[in-house]
Chain A
Amino acid sequence: MIEWLARLIPLFPLVACLTTLVLGPKVLREKSHWPAIVGCGLSSLCSLILLVFVASPQLLPQDERTIPLYTWIQIPDPINTTGPALLDITLALRVDSLSATMLAMLTFVATLVVIYASGYMHGEGGYWRFFTEVSLFVFSMIMLVLAANFLQLFIFWEAVGLCSYLLIGFWYEKPEAAAAGKKAFLVNRIGDFGFVTGIFLIWDSFKTVNFAEVLDVQKIQEVAAGNSAMIPLICLCLFAGAMGKSAQFPLHVWLPDAMEGPTPVSALIHAATMVTAGVYMVARCTPLFMAAPSAQILVAFVGGFTALLAALIALTQTDLKRVLAYSTVSQLGYMFLGLGTGLLTGVGGAMLHLVTHAFFKALLFLGAGSVMHAMGGVIDMREFGGLRKKLPQTYITFLAGSLALAGCPLLSGFWSKDTILSAVHEASHESHSATAVVPAGHATGVDEHAATDAEIDDRAKAPARFLALPYPSVYKLLFWMGSFTAFLTAFYTFRAFFMTFHGPEKIPHAAGHHAHESPAVMCLPLMILAVGAVFLGGILGHMTGLFDTFLDKTIPGIHSAAAHHGYDWFVIGVSTAVFLAGLGLAYVMYAVPSALPEKLAAAFGPLTNLSRNKFYLDEVFQGLFVWPLRGLAELSRLADWLAIDTWLVGGVSRIPALVGQLPRPIQNGLVQFYALAMTLAMAVLLWALIWKQG
């Protein structure tokens, strides 16, 4: 049953993709959305059933299941032919609680976005192309989530990157869209540089790339015992890949530009699903990261810093979609902050935030799309305002999303963000880390080397082992950074909300006189997502506590203390306070016309400038990489022409001619000279003969 479900889930979108590819341009035309809707819908249904199977222990006795599909590459050892293969990569589907959770979220959001897109993209040129590419994306993302080894993960990691490239550049006639697509692909490739190196290191040290064998506490200990720097190095390389895909500083620069793509794409790929692939990968590799505290602190720090930086940039952006894009970067930063705490509650919190964020951020993007739809494609918040009367349904749902994002108590975003901040707070108190179960061995390092297998076994099974986290003060700093970011989040979210929906009504010319609410096919997904944005976090995080223990079913050898520990009231207090402060400040500044924004902008002059110009990071990238490399390329061109072709090759090719020049004077055509030469030569020969005889 589970085998079939797991096979069907990716199959439906694949069939949908192929159907629209073949039939789209000529047969389906304006009905091209049907295969995608049906495919994603069926896939979503199967995913939910699968989640139920995985969640109930009676139905799934094993913690994980790997369903092999086919052998992709197998290279046997040429010397020891009976031994294990040098490289054996089988494409397989790995079903466990982590992948099942991701799948349910992914396919559900995808279904809603595809339904929405059938209204939003209506009448666009290349309608079928859009749904082909979206179906391909959903297929690739499902396969990424279900990957059973690192190489397969990377294959579909790149495949979703391809879909992202194609969909960002969907309107390829816009030069900005074409450039943004290329930028996204290239920046991701920089991250992939690290990812591939990480995979090589894993293959080199573990002799395999299968999750089942690599993410094994015992195996990790063995490798760490051989070379204590190896595990942190692998973690850093993998994290570099995650930074690219999940838009972490300094590789976040592609995500805001990716907003050139159609809005449903921004919602699905660049907010809810693809960009969380990095978070998913790091969560998947928890056993590795647990064994490398130094890598973890880097993850936490990069996450915390990115969250703050992106929130600062979001403060001054005037393009509604860009505000949301920077907000996505910032929220992804939170997730990495949670992952980097080294606590299982942190990892659980990050995954919970991933799921809730997918709902409320997709909702916000689709809401922004609805605004754009009504405003005739205008997305600059200065151009419109007071839209709550014109777009009542969008208004209500956008409000729900904003509240969830801003961390309003009892809404989804509150629970998940709170779990992360609690974990960070906990990490800043050494003695407090009651749930930190770490694979034994890494802390004490080399002396574990001598431990017998039985001892290692015992330690791995030990219920809890307290980890002395190395840098509690860093986590303390990160906690306050995170809380401050939460304040900024509440502020910029409601700044955007008030600028769009409150104040005097203002409608741009592009919208004409018929600015109207979007059709039902677009509003229905908004409402469903809004329900999720309001309640999901409470259900998953507060009421059932599913995410506290779900990693137990994913990673063999790690068992968190299952008890749902009480709330950290201090963190809840801080969160609530910063939410209210941010909301209040935004209300004062933007809900009613006031001169306060200008005054504040002037007061923080340089900072405002930095924020507006995105801290000049694009320019830094241009100056640091693009122009020097282009210069180097031109230099190589010159060198190739001058040094190699003209001097080296040209020089060598002149040698025969030069050699030919040498005896040329001899061939002067004078008979006397030839006679002389002949006589002389005869004389020399004779002399040589005589000399030899004598």
Chain B
Amino acid sequence: MFQLSQIPFLMVTLPLAGALVLLLTARFGIEHVRRTALMNVLLTFAVAVVMVVRYDPDRVDDNNQPQLIQMAMVMPWVGSPGAGPDIRFALGIDGISLWLIALSALLMIPAVLVSWEAVQDRPAAFYALMLVLEAGLIGVFAAQDIILFYVFFEFTLIPLFFMVGIWGGQDRRWAARKFFIYTLAGSVLTFLGLIAVVLSYSWMSGNSELTFSIPALTQGISQQLAVNPEAQAYWAKASPWIFLALFAGFAIKVPLFPFHTWLPLAHVEAPTAGSVLLAGVLLKIGSYGFLRFALPLVPEACFRFFDFVSILAVIGIIYGALLALAQDDIKKLVAYSSVSHMGFCLLGLFALNSVGITGGLLQMINHGLSTGALFAIVGMLYERYHTRDIQAYHRMAKKYPVMAFILLIVVFSSIGLPGLNGFTGEILALMGMFKSNWLYAVLSLSGIILGAWYMLWLVQRTFFGRLREPGHEGHGHAASGLAAHDAGDYSSESALTDLNVRELCALVPVVVLIAWIGIYPQYFIRRMEPSISQVMRQVDAGFQRYEQFRAVSQNEREGKIFARAENPAD
């Protein structure tokens, strides 16, 4: 009998099982492999749809308390309850992870479909890695235990490392290595921070049991801090360090300026499916980490580092947009636009009020959809012409009207046109930040202007104007083919055609969601809102502690000055 609590477990194991099947049946040929992969991905997505439909944001438990984590499944894993470490295999869905899991499952569909023709070399291994990656991504968002979270967190690196390193572009090995080591280096510090949280809680509560459960820790620590002055004094000293440790891993993952340089390289070298998943979902792990751990666990440190993180986010928004403006490589342009857009996510989260956090979370989904679709479209162009040089493309709209139509929707979503999803996320994030600090919000608004500039310029250069197709494969230099087209010789137009059914199927689900979130965002916000409110209550408590702590240290400082004034001889 099918049970709701099996859903997260099913969503993690289904792709893993698929990967196993693929590896075992690789000898049946590419057709079999990619069909199996597609079936698997669609099945997982169907489960995700059930998950979204059955998630009830207003559910209450027997004690009439809101029950936000639903479809939970807990199994003992390492250690046992009572004493010592108690690590569990705990999965569950709440309003924060719900949409990110759905996003991961959704983006797998375009990821498989864009690889359909592009990956001919060892397809079984490629699709198997992709499914393993899916399992890892869903696991990260569904994990309710710190160790399990961290396992999945690192687990996502491995398949992507191989996908970039084996099926990537020219510089794939260097890109894969840099991506792997850079993100790993940060996440080791994050792990330290998480362990510190676990040990601190054990000390605070005076329990010999070491709990790793995320909800138990977030609830428990804020309860302890509310009643236990000793714990408060300790946390006031420890929380900044814990925050910085968490920050190290998550900021690199996001990536926040100046930790972003691995991203363009990895994107440029990754195969299209890799780029779609990297930009679409992988980056969200970083911002998700901030929302899941930093905000509820160490809110006072978030207030303390509010300016630090916000300024980095604002710099990232403007700097990323400027960098995108200067690129000649389509993939790099989109990669830098990601740096800019992820800045809005963090700006929203660190507004530290519900409007901003809602905006930040929504922006994660939006960025996943629009940038995922952008990379997919770029991949489709690349598949036709094998160049990423913006200069080589011209007036593609005439030849590919359907592609142009979808590209325009995605581009307008990315530059935050109202009515599409990008606007709702950005406006909420900025409104939230405006309440916290108007200057940062107004500065980031200029990023929106720049965003429209580089995106529309890209469209103008590649899709409008006179038709100029890049030379085909085999023409070593794209430029050699251009002269003929410039002279008005249209007879040599290639026989390449507009989007086929497979490519349309890859993009249409994403476009539908782009419009849906833009037109009726409340459907999505309604389901995330109770969970965000819960985080907000902890953030608010943290704010009280932060103010209190600041007042105390202010008094101390004044006391010292006072003391010094009394004894001028000192």
A interface, CB within 8 angstroms of B:
70-79, 81, 86-87, 151, 154-159, 162, 165, 169, 172-173, 175, 178-179, 181-182, 185-186, 189-190, 193, 196-197, 200, 203-204, 629-630, 632-634, 636-637, 640, 644-645, 648-649, 653
Tell whether B79 is near chain A: CB-to-CB under 8 Å.
no
Is A629 a contact partner of B456 (Cβ separation < 8 A)? no
Bound CA span A681–B496, Å: 74
Is A162 a contact partner of B395 (Cβ separation < 8 A)? no
Bound CA span A190–B446, Å: 8
Given contacts A169-B464, A193-B445, whether A159 and B418 have CB atoms under 8 Å apart is: yes
In the complex, 18 of the A-B residue pairs with CB atoms within 8 angstroms, ordered by the A residue number, are A71-B522, A72-B522, A73-B428, A78-B534, A78-B537, A78-B540, A79-B536, A79-B537, A155-B418, A159-B419, A165-B456, A173-B398, A185-B452, A189-B449, A204-B435, A204-B438, A636-B319, A640-B261
Q: Which residues of B contact A169 (CB under 8 A)?
A: 464
Is A193 a contact partner of B446 (Cβ separation < 8 A)? yes
Please give the distance in Å from A415's CB to the nearest CB on chain B: 37
Is B261 a contact partner of A155 (Cβ separation < 8 A)? no
Please give the distance in Å from B89's CB to the nearest CB on chain A: 31
Closest to A179 in B: B460
Q: Which residues of B contact A173 (CB under 8 A)?
A: 395, 398, 464-467
Tell whether B488 is near chain A: CB-to-CB under 8 Å.
no
Please give the distance in Å from A480's CB to the nearest CB on chain B: 37
Please give the distance in Å from B390's CB to the nearest CB on chain A: 14
Is A79 a contact partner of B456 (Cβ separation < 8 A)? no
Q: Which residues of A contact B435 (CB under 8 A)?
A: 204
Closest to B398 in A: A173
Please give the distance in Å from A198's CB to the nearest CB on chain B: 11
Bound CA span A71–B453, Å: 32
Q: Which residues of A contact B262 (CB under 8 A)?
A: 649
Is A644 a contact partner of B261 (Cβ separation < 8 A)? yes
Given contacts A73-B522, A78-B532, whether A645 and B434 have CB atoms under 8 Å apart is: no
Q: Which residues of B contact A159 (CB under 8 A)?
A: 417-419
Q: Which residues of B contact A81 (CB under 8 A)?
A: 533
Bound CA span A644–B537, Å: 38
Tell whether B323 is near chain A: CB-to-CB under 8 Å.
yes
Tell whether B310 is near chain A: CB-to-CB under 8 Å.
no
Is A634 a contact partner of B326 (Cβ separation < 8 A)? yes
Is A648 a contact partner of B449 (Cβ separation < 8 A)? no
Q: Which residues of B contact A185 (CB under 8 A)?
A: 452, 456
Given contacts A75-B355, A75-B529, A189-B452, whether A182 and B460 have CB atoms under 8 Å apart is: yes
Interface residues of B in 298-352 (CB under 8 A from A): 319, 322-323, 325-327
Bound CA span A203–B438, Å: 12
Interface size grouping (class) on chain B = 35 or more
Bound CA span A503–B417, Å: 49
Q: Which residues of A contact B261 (CB under 8 A)?
A: 640, 644-645, 649
Please give the distance in Å from B534's CB to the nearest CB on chain A: 8
Given contacts A71-B522, A72-B520, A173-B398, whether A203 and B431 have CB atoms under 8 Å apart is: yes
For B515-547 the 0/1 string (1 means CB < 8 A from A) is: 000001110011001001110110010000000
Give chain A's interface secondary structure class: helix
Given contacts A87-B431, A178-B465, A182-B456, whether A637 and B323 have CB atoms under 8 Å apart is: yes
Closest to B539 in A: A78
Tell whether B9 is near chain A: CB-to-CB under 8 Å.
no
Is A73 a contact partner of B521 (Cβ separation < 8 A)? yes
Interface residues of B in 370-389 (CB under 8 A from A): none
Bound CA span A153–B446, Å: 21
The number of A-B residue pairs with CB atoms under 8 Å apart is: 139
Tell whether B239 is near chain A: CB-to-CB under 8 Å.
no
Is B354 a contact partner of A78 (Cβ separation < 8 A)? yes
Q: Which residues of A contact B466 (CB under 8 A)?
A: 173, 175
Q: Which residues of B contact A79 (CB under 8 A)?
A: 536-537, 540
Q: Which residues of A contact B397 (CB under 8 A)?
A: 172
Given contacts A73-B424, A75-B355, A162-B412, whether A204 and B452 have CB atoms under 8 Å apart is: no
Is A186 a contact partner of B456 (Cβ separation < 8 A)? yes
With A629-B450, A640-B323 known, 8 other A-B pairs at CB within 8 A are A75-B355, A76-B533, A79-B536, A158-B423, A186-B453, A196-B445, A197-B445, A637-B323
Closest to B327 in A: A637
Closest to B412 in A: A162
Bound CA span A162–B398, Å: 20
Is A75 a contact partner of B525 (Cβ separation < 8 A)? yes
Bound CA span A633–B446, Å: 14
Please give the distance in Å from A57's CB to the nearest CB on chain B: 35
Contact with A633, one of B326, B445, B532, B534 (Cβ below 8 angstroms): B326
Contact with A155, one of B182, B354, B419, B450 (Cβ below 8 angstroms): B419
Bound CA span A74–B526, Å: 8
For B259-287 the 0/1 string (1 means CB < 8 A from A) is: 00110000000000000000000000000
Bound CA span A193–B441, Å: 11
Bound CA span A397–B325, Å: 48
The 8 tightest CB contacts between A and B, nearest first, are A78-B533, A178-B464, A155-B418, A78-B536, A633-B326, A633-B325, A172-B464, A645-B261
Is B354 a contact partner of A70 (Cβ separation < 8 A)? no
Tell whether B158 is near chain A: CB-to-CB under 8 Å.
no
Please give the distance in Å from B435's CB to the nearest CB on chain A: 6
Bound CA span A78–B450, Å: 34
Q: Which residues of B contact A633 (CB under 8 A)?
A: 322-323, 325-326
Please give the distance in Å from A560's CB to the nearest CB on chain B: 34
Bound CA span A659–B428, Å: 47
Bound CA span A594–B460, Å: 45
Please give the distance in Å from B307's CB to the nearest CB on chain A: 19
Closest to A653 in B: B181
Bound CA span A74–B540, Å: 20
Bound CA span A21–B434, Å: 39
Closest to B328 in A: A637
Q: Which residues of A contact B354 (CB under 8 A)?
A: 75-78, 86
Please give the distance in Å from A140's CB to the nearest CB on chain B: 9
Closest to A196 in B: B445
Q: Which residues of B contact A200 (CB under 8 A)?
A: 430-431, 434, 438, 441
Bound CA span A203–B521, Å: 19
Q: Which residues of B contact A156 (CB under 8 A)?
A: 418
Interface residues of B in 419-457 (CB under 8 A from A): 419, 423-424, 427-428, 430-431, 434-435, 438, 441-442, 445-446, 448-450, 452-453, 456-457
Q: Which residues of A contact B430 (CB under 8 A)?
A: 196, 200
Please give the distance in Å from B431's CB to the nearest CB on chain A: 6
Closest to B336 in A: A640
Q: Which residues of B contact A162 (CB under 8 A)?
A: 412, 417
Is B418 a contact partner of A158 (Cβ separation < 8 A)? yes
Bound CA span A398–B18, Å: 72
Is A72 a contact partner of B358 (Cβ separation < 8 A)? no
Q: Which residues of B contact A70 (CB under 8 A)?
A: 520, 522
Please give the distance in Å from B337's CB to the nearest CB on chain A: 13
Is B445 a contact partner of A154 (Cβ separation < 8 A)? no
Interface centre among A165, A175, A637, A644 (most CB of B within 10 A): A637
Bound CA span A71–B523, Å: 10
Closest to B453 in A: A186
